[in-house]
């Protein structure tokens, strides 16, 4: 990690069982700490995870950090909120960021196919790369194969860190960022990228791959009668060209993607380092907080540094000191005298809001009881959608505990 002299902050790596109550999440301290180089936002779908990642990136940039935000979410909301017509695999500057503190902000969206192509071009000779890129099996895998997105997310995160944070692959002058904010896919698949190195290794070391590689890995005398029977059967079913394309592709995986497998494992280690901070994003709803508990426990199992929990779109506390029961009692008395009483209707609305706030508070309390060392930030719901930088700034202020 860069900045060896910067202070390191110990993040939570434990699950349930601590006797301490959860503390408020100090977002600004996290963003301002030069030792924080990667922030990973994970959570289930529909909880405002993309908006949270964008708001954190913007706030960090306007507090002096040089930030790039990478979204792996297929939705295009991030580009819209940052005033960028379209995001792709190239970091693009976000206009309108206040430069007063000396920071900057770029944004990008993972292009799975292009990232895969970059791996091929970097690992193979031009002739070999051209052969691989034209292979029909490669085209299918790099475009839509299950799990490829997570593999490429690991690769792109590693590329960004090596090339633009540490400058390892381009010299010190190429260290253009000091903070990467990652927005992950929705639902539990958001943690699939943690399994990418192992899953890729399992595939490359599998029996079928070894079978397809047999002709390339040994002399002709090692081709047993059993292997000939298998290949002859496959050739009759699939066709000679199909089998040849498959063998070429598998051989390319073995020779070209060994380097990617190693780099993916390095990125996994990077995610476990103290310079990385995971933020679990949730909504104040039973299912979302149940998913958040899953994320917290999984991160703990994998020794990933957890910075805290963000609870989005919480109902604001009613300004009136009246409890829900008191408001309902008052509404009933007024309605007895005047069934059309406007004040009675307002009291009923207040009672409904107070009950909702109490229910959400009870859900957060239950989560805190089970995970007492997970620092928490609660973000009140806004009256409208976030669609520009001003909206993201407002979210950032709320994340940092402001009004």
* H or E element at residue 66: strand 66-71
Q: Is 125 exposed, middle or buried (0-12, 13-18, 19+ CB in 10 A)?
A: exposed
- pLDDT for 111: 86
**pLDDT score, position 202:** 64
Name the band, by pLDDT with cuts 50, 70 and 90, for residue 113. confident
pTM assigned to the model: 0.80
User: Mean pLDDT throughout 258-274?
Assistant: 83
Angle separating helix axes 112-123 and 148-160, nearest 10 degrees: 60
Return the top range by mean pLDDT from 144-158, 238-252, 389-403: 389-403
Whether 78 contacts 110, CB under 8 Å: no
pLDDT attached to residue 88: 86
Tell me how far apart the alpha carbons of residues 359 and 339 are, in angstroms, rounded to a whole number.
29
**Predicted confidence (pLDDT) per residue in 19-48, tens digit:** 445 689 999 999 999 999 999 999 888 898
pLDDT category of residue 392 using cuts at 50, 70 and 90: very high
Q: Is residue 219 predicted with pLDDT exceeding 70?
A: no
Are 83 and 95 in contact by the 8 Å Cβ rule? The answer is: yes
Give just the sign of the alpha carbon dihedral 216, 220, 223, 229: positive
Per-residue pLDDT of 60-111, as tens digits, reads: 999 999 999 998 766 677 778 888 878 888 999 999 999 999 999 999 988 8
Q: Are the CB atoms for 192 and 147 separated by under 8 Å?
A: yes
Is pLDDT of 55 > 80?
Answer: yes
CA distances from 279 to 213, 287, 336, 397 (A): 42, 18, 50, 17
SS3 content of the chain, % helix, strand, coil (to 5): 55, 10, 35
- Please state the rounded mean pLDDT for residues 396-402: 93
> How does strand 92-93 pair with strand 104-109?
antiparallel
What are the tokens at 45? 């779908």
Instruction: Summarize the confidence of residues 218-230 as an average pLDDT.
Output: 44
Q: What is the tens place of the pLDDT at every residue in 325-383?
A: 676 777 677 777 777 778 777 777 777 777 888 899 999 999 999 999 999 999 999 88
Q: pLDDT at position 155, please?
A: 84
Q: Which two tokens stand for residue 273?
A: 């380092």
**pLDDT exceeds cutoff 50 at 262:** yes
Number of H-type helices and E-type strands within the chain = 16, 8
Mean pLDDT for the stretch of residues 205-231? 48
pLDDT reported for residue 189 = 64
What local confidence, expressed as pLDDT, does residue 254 receive? Answer: 62
Residue 15: pLDDT over 60: no
Sign of torsion over alpha carbons 14, 8, 163, 124:
negative
Contacts of 248 (CB under 8 A, 6+ apart): 131, 135
Q: Indicate whether 390 pLDDT > 90.
A: yes
Given pLDDT bands bounded at 50, 70 and 90, which one contains residue 235? very low
CA distance 76 to 83: 11
pLDDT in tens, 373-382: 999 999 999 8
Yes or no: say if 39 and 279 are a contact pair by the CB < 8 Å rule.
yes
Given this model, what pLDDT does residue 99 score?
A: 92
């Amino acid at each position: 990690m860069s900045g060896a002299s910067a202070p390191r902050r110990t993040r939570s790596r434990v699950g349930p069982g601590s006797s301490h109550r959860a503390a408020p999440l100090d977002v600004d301290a996290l963003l301002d700490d030069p030792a924080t180089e990667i922030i990973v936002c994970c959570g289930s779908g529909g909880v405002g995870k993309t908006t949270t990642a964008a708001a954190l990136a913007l706030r960090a940039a306007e507090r002096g950090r040089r930030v790039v935000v990478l979204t792996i979410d297929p939705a295009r909301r991030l580009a819209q909120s940052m005033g960028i017509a379209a995001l792709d695999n190239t970091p693009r500057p976000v206009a309108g960021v206040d430069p007063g503190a000396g920071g900057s902000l770029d944004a990008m969206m993972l292009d799975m196919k292009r990232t895969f192509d970059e791996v091929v071009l970097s690992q193979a000779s031009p002739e070999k790369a051209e052969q691989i890129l034209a292979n029909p099996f490669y085209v299918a895998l790099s475009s839509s194969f299950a799990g490829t997105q997570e593999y490429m997310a690991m690769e792109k995160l590693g590329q960004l860190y090596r090339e633009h944070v540490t400058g390892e692959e381009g010299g010190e002058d190429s260290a253009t960022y000091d903070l990467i904010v990652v927005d992950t896919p929705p639902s539990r698949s958001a943690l699939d990228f943690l399994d990418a190195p192992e899953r890729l290794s399992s595939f490359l070391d599998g029996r079928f791959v070894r079978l397809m590689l047999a002709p390339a890995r040994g002399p002709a005398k090692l081709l047993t009668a059993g292997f000939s029977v298998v290949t002859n059967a496959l050739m009759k079913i699939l066709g000679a060209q199909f089998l040849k394309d498959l063998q070429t592709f598998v051989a390319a995986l073995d020779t070209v993607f060994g380097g990617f497998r190693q780099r993916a494992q390095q990125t996994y280690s990077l995610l476990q380092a103290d310079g990385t901070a995971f933020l679990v994003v949730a909504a104040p709803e039973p299912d979302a907080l149940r998913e958040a508990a899953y994320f917290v426990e999984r991160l703990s199992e994998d020794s990933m540094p957890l910075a805290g929990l963000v609870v989005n779109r919480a109902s604001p506390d009613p300004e009136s000191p009246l409890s829900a029961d008191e408001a309902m009692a008052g509404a009933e008395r007024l309605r007895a005298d005047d069934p059309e009483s406007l004040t009675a209707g307002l009291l009923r609305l207040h009672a409904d809001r107070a009950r909702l706030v109490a229910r959400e508070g009870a859900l957060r309390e239950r989560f805190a009881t089970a995970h007492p060392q997970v620092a928490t930030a609660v973000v009140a719901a806004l009256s409208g959608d976030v669609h520009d930088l001003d909206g993201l700034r407002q979210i950032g202020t709320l994340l940092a505990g402001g009004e």
